[in-house]
């Protein structure tokens, strides 16, 4: 087991990539605080994990609200005694163009994706510094690197902001034994991507050298690597998980 007795917080854990990340970390021996706004799915996942002998706690928390995030982190600490890993995965997308996007859509996407990542990172740093150990892994997107034609213009900038935040925190926290990295997925089969038309799916698959859509588990294994001590000399990296659709 790569993460035996490690404690992780995973945001957006109720479904999709976050759920796959939570289950992968559990498989590798971590105890996981599951964070989301969707209470029912969160509770169902916690029960499922516990039935299989894993340890999890469920926290209904809107990551855009720093007071809720602080309370969640305090409670996770009280439950598990330490916080080794934070996976900032929760995110939202809106479709549209610069003409159709509303100010509210822009604000919400930036608030969840970028400010939420900031709120959760800020809330765990003191603990990780004291431990002189921590792994922060941010789920970004290919859209932060190359832009995106179908998402409303807030999404790509929120992810580019996450990439810059990752590098900033990697520099600021390196001397405390904290690694900060990101993954940049593309075209992963989840409820977020289920909005694509059949035509758009075909177009996307045709643009991916490996010739298929990604699975949540493809992202989860990359997150696991960055969360493990196998990646201890890596920080400030944004790892592409995109089937070769973008290479940098
Ligand atoms: N699916 C893809 O193709 C793809 C590609 C690139 C990047 N990503 C990124 O991966 C991450 C996960 O995506 P997914 O496809 O699993 O999405 P998803 O919509 O299936 O799941 C996102 C989860 O985040 C939760 N969430 C939303 N707002 C929240 C908030 N304010 N506080 C707490 N939780 C909140 C949702 O309830 C949901 O459970 C996102 O950051 C997304 O931008 C996804």
For the Cβ of 65 lying below 6 angstroms from any atom of ligand 1, the answer is no
- What are 182's strand-pairing partners? 138, 238
| Beta-bridge partner residues of 31 | 7
Q: Does pLDDT of 48 surpass 90?
A: yes
Q: What is the pLDDT of residue 39?
A: 98
Residue 186 is predicted with a pLDDT of 97
Distance CA 10, CA 19 (A): 8
Q: Whose CA is nearest to atom 30 of ligand 1?
A: 62
Report whether 114 contacts 92 (CB < 8 A).
no
- Helix or strand or coil: residue 1? coil
Torsion angles phi and psi, residue 136, rounded to 5: -110, 125
**Is the confidence at residue 196, as pLDDT, over 90?**
no
Token pair listed for 102: 């509303």
Q: Which two tokens stand for residue 228?
A: 């493990």
What is the per-residue burial (b if ≥16 Cβ within 10 Å, else e) of 140-157? bbbbbbeebeebbbbbbb
> Which residue has the CA at smallest separation from atom 17 of ligand 1?
192
Whether 155 is catalytic: yes
Reported confidence tier of residue 195, pLDDT bands at 50, 70, 90: confident
Confidence at 57, pLDDT banded by 50, 70, 90: very high
Write b or e for each residue in 18-42: b if 16 or more Cβ atoms lie within 10 A of its Cβ, otherwise e.
bbbbbbbbbbbebbbbbbbbeeebb
In the chain, what percentage of residues exceed pLDDT 70? 100
Ligand 1 center from residue 175 Cα (angstroms): 31
Q: Is 219 in the pocket of ligand 1 (CB under 6 A)?
A: no
Q: Measuring from atom 25 of ligand 1, which residue has the nearest CA? A: 12
Atom of ligand 1 nearest to the CA of 88: 41
pLDDT on residue 127: 98
CA–CA–CA angle 200, 204, 209 (5° rounding):
165
Atom of ligand 1 nearest to the CA of 17: 16
Quote the pLDDT of residue 211: 98
pTM over 0.95: yes
Answer yes or no: is the C-beta of 112 below 6 A from any ligand 1 atom: yes
pLDDT band at 40 (very low <50, low <70, confident <90, very high): very high
How large is the average pLDDT for residues 43-65? 98
The atom of ligand 1 lying closest to the CA of 191 is: 20
The CATH architecture that domain 7-241 belongs to is 3-Layer(aba) Sandwich (3.40)
Residue owning tokens 């990780």: 128
Q: What is the pLDDT of residues 144-173, one digit of tens each?
A: 999 999 899 999 999 999 999 999 999 999
Q: 3-state DSSP call for residue 171?
A: helix
Q: What is the pLDDT of residue 192?
A: 86
Select from 16, 160, 217 the residue to mutate for testing ligand 1; criterion: most ligand atoms less than 8 Å from CB.
Answer: 16
* pLDDT at residue 12 tops 90: yes
Which residue is it, tokens 């993954």? Answer: 183
Residue 89 CA to ligand 1 centre (angstroms): 6
Measure 139 CA to ligand 1 centroid, in angstroms. Answer: 9
With a cut of 90, say whether residue 193 has pLDDT above it: no
What are the tens digits of pLDDT across the range 114-134?
999 999 999 999 999 999 999
Question: 194 alpha carbon to ligand 1 midpoint, in Å?
Answer: 12
What pLDDT score was predicted for residue 5?
94
Please tell me the residue having the least CA distance from ligand 1 atom 31. 62
Per-residue pLDDT, averaged over 4-21, amounts to 98
């Amino acid at each position: 087991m790569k993460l035996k007795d490690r404690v992780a917080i995973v945001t957006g854990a109720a479904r999709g990539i976050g759920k796959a990340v939570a289950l992968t970390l559990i498989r590798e021996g971590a105890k996981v605080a599951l964070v989301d706004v969707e209470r029912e799915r969160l509770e169902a996942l916690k029960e499922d994990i516990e039935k299989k002998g894993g340890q999890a706690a469920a926290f209904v928390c809107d990551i855009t609200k720093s007071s809720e995030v602080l309370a969640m982190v305090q409670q996770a600490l009280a439950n598990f005694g330490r916080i080794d890993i934070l996976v900032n995965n929760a995110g939202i997308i809106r479709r549209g163009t610069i003409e159709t996007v509303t100010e509210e859509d822009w604000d919400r996407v930036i608030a969840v994706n970028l400010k939420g990542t900031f709120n959760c990172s800020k809330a765990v740093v003191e603990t990780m510094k004291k431990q002189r150990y921590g792994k922060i892994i941010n789920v970004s997107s290919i859209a932060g690197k190359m832009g995106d034609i179908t998402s409303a213009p807030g999404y790509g900038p929120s992810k580019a902001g996450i990439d810059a935040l990752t590098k900033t925190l990697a520099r600021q926290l390196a001397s405390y034994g904290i690694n900060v990295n990101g993954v940049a997925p593309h075209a992963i089969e989840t409820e977020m991507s289920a909005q694509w038309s059949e035509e758009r799916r075909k177009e996307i698959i045709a643009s991916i050298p490996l010739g298929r859509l990604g699975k949540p588990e493809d992202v989860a294994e990359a997150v696991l690597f960055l969360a493990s001590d196998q990646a201890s000399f890596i920080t400030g990296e944004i790892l592409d998980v995109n089937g070769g659709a973008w290479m940098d």
